[in-house]
Amino acid sequence: MKMKADFLNSIISILLIILIIPGLIPGVVSAADEQPEDDGNSTYPILEEISTDPKYPTPDSVVTITVLVKNTGNAASYPTSVIYTIDGVDSGDREGVSSIDPGVEPVKILHLWNAPHEEGTVTITAYIENTPEIQISKDVKVVENQLPDLSIENIVPKTSSPQEGKSLDFTVRVKNQGISPSGAALAKYYVNENPGQDINIPSLSEGESTNVAFSLTPDQVKVGSMQVKVVVDSGNAVSESNEANNELTIPISVKALLPDLTIASLSWSPETPKVGENIAFIAAIKNSGSVASPISKLKYSINGTSEGGEIPVPALAVGEATQGTFFWTPGNEGNFEVTAMVDPESVVPESAETNNALKKTVTVAKENTSIDGGNEGSSSSDSSSGSGSSSSSSSRGGGLLSREPASNVAAKELVTRNVVNGNHLMYDFQENSTCIIYIEYDAERTFLKTTTTVEELKNKSTLVSKRAPGRLYKYFNVWVGDKGGGLPTSLKNGSIGFKVEKAWISNSTANINESFVTLQLYNKSNTSWEPLYTEKTGEDNNYMYFKSTTPGFSSFAITTYTGVLEKNGTQVGAKLQDTLTGLEGAGKVGLNGSANNSKSQEARSAAKILMAISLPLFLIFIGYLVIKKKI
Count of other CB atoms within 10 angstroms of residue 374: 5
Same domain, residue pair 237 and 99: no
Residue 613 lies in a domain: no
pLDDT band at 611 (very low <50, low <70, confident <90, very high): low
Which residues lie below 8 Å from residue 583, measured CB to CB, with a gap of 6+?
Answer: 600, 603, 604, 607
Is pLDDT of 569 > 90?
A: no
Letter string b/e over residues 451-488, b meaning 16 or more CB atoms within 10 A of that residue's CB: bbbbbbbeebbeebeeebbbbbbbbbbbbbbbbbbbbe
Which residues lie below 8 Å from residue 228, measured CB to CB, with a gap of 6+?
Answer: 155, 157, 170, 189, 190, 191, 216, 249, 250, 251, 252
Q: Is the dihedral of CA 512, 515, 516, 518 positive or negative?
A: positive
State which of 82, 110, 142 marks the end of a domain.
142
Is pLDDT of 534 > 70?
A: yes
Letter string b/e over residues 526-546, b meaning 16 or more CB atoms within 10 A of that residue's CB: eeebebbbbebeeeeeebbeb
Q: What is the mean pLDDT of residues 458-487?
A: 86
Which tops the pLDDT comparison, 600 or 386?
600
Which tops the pLDDT comparison, 138 or 599?
138
Same domain, residue pair 449 and 545: yes
Same domain, residue pair 497 and 397: yes
Q: Tens of pLDDT along 474-515?
A: 999 999 877 666 777 788 999 999 999 988 887 745 567 888
Residue 631 lies in a domain: no
Identify the CA nearest to 143 among candidates 82, 264, 23, 56: 56
pLDDT band at 103 (very low <50, low <70, confident <90, very high): confident
State which of 522, 546, 561 marks the end of a domain.
561
pLDDT band at 386 (very low <50, low <70, confident <90, very high): very low
Burial group, residue 71, by CB count within 10 angstroms (0-12, 13-18, 19+) = buried
Q: Tens of pLDDT along 282-320?
A: 899 999 988 899 999 999 899 988 876 688 899 999 999
HEC states along 531-549?
ECCEEEEEECCCEEEEEEE
User: Which of 126-140, 183-197, 370-384 is predicted most confidently?
Assistant: 183-197
The per-residue pLDDT for 42 is 56
pLDDT band at 151 (very low <50, low <70, confident <90, very high): very high
Residue 381 lies in a domain: no
Q: What is the mean pLDDT of the chain?
A: 79
Residues 122, 595: Cα–Cα separation, whole Å: 110
DSSP 322-377: EEEEEEE--SS-EEEEEEEEESTT--S--S-SS-SEEEEEEEEBPP-TT--TT-S-
Is pLDDT of 600 > 60?
A: no
Same domain, residue pair 163 and 205: yes
Is pLDDT of 422 > 90?
A: no
Is pLDDT of 29 > 80?
A: no
Residue 379 lies in a domain: no
Is pLDDT of 172 > 50?
A: yes
Which of 22-26, 504-508, 559-563 has the weakest average pLDDT? 22-26
CATH code of the domain containing 289: 2.60.40.10
Identify the CA nearest to 243 among candidates 171, 177, 310, 150: 150
Which of 213-217, 262-266, 509-513 has the weakest average pLDDT? 509-513
Same domain, residue pair 199 and 84: no
The per-residue pLDDT for 17 is 57
The per-residue pLDDT for 594 is 38
DSSP 377-439: -S--EEEPTTT--EEE----B------S-GGGEEEEEEEEEEE-TT-EEEEE-TT--SSEEEE
Same domain, residue pair 162 and 248: yes
Ramachandran bin of 59, using left for φ above 0, alpha for ψ from -120 to 50, beta for the remaining angles? beta
CATH code of the domain containing 427: 2.60.220
Q: Tens of pLDDT along 329-348?
A: 888 899 999 999 999 989 99
Residues 73, 508: Cα–Cα separation, whole Å: 115
State which of 199, 221, 254 marks the end of a domain.
254
Identify the CA nearest to 577 among candidates 558, 605, 602: 558
Same domain, residue pair 301 and 319: yes
Query: First-to-last CA distance in the chain?
Result: 209
Helix (H, G, I), strand (E, B) or coil at 278: coil
Report the DSSP pairing between strands 62-71 and 107-114: antiparallel
The per-residue pLDDT for 384 is 32
Same domain, residue pair 331 and 427: no
Residues 556, 475: Cα–Cα separation, whole Å: 6
Is pLDDT of 449 > 60?
A: yes
The per-residue pLDDT for 9 is 64
Domain carrying residue 453: 392-561
The per-residue pLDDT for 336 is 93
Q: Tens of pLDDT along 71-84?
A: 888 889 889 999 99
Residue 306 lies in a domain: yes
Residue 539 lies in a domain: yes
% pLDDT > 70, the chain: 75
pLDDT band at 628 (very low <50, low <70, confident <90, very high): low
The per-residue pLDDT for 549 is 95
Same domain, residue pair 135 and 157: no
The per-residue pLDDT for 41 is 52
Q: Are 351 and 343 in contact (CB under 8 A)?
A: no
Same domain, residue pair 57 and 172: no
Which of 49-63, 101-115, 237-251, 383-397 has the weakest average pLDDT? 383-397
Residue 175 lies in a domain: yes
Residues 110, 31: Cα–Cα separation, whole Å: 34
Residues 307, 252: Cα–Cα separation, whole Å: 44
Q: CA geometry: angle at 377 spanning 372 and 379, to 5°?
A: 125
The per-residue pLDDT for 576 is 33
Residue 226 lies in a domain: yes
Same domain, residue pair 444 and 551: yes
The per-residue pLDDT for 330 is 85
Identify the CA nearest to 80 among candidates 125, 127, 39: 127
Same domain, residue pair 448 and 414: yes
Q: pTM for the complete prediction?
A: 0.39
- Work out how many domains the chain is built from and give that number: 4
The per-residue pLDDT for 48 is 86
Q: For residue 310, what are the β-bridge partners?
A: 299
Is pLDDT of 173 > 80?
A: yes
Which tops the pLDDT comparison, 17 or 417?
417
The per-residue pLDDT for 515 is 84
Which of 109-113, 211-215, 250-254, 576-580 has the weakest average pLDDT? 576-580
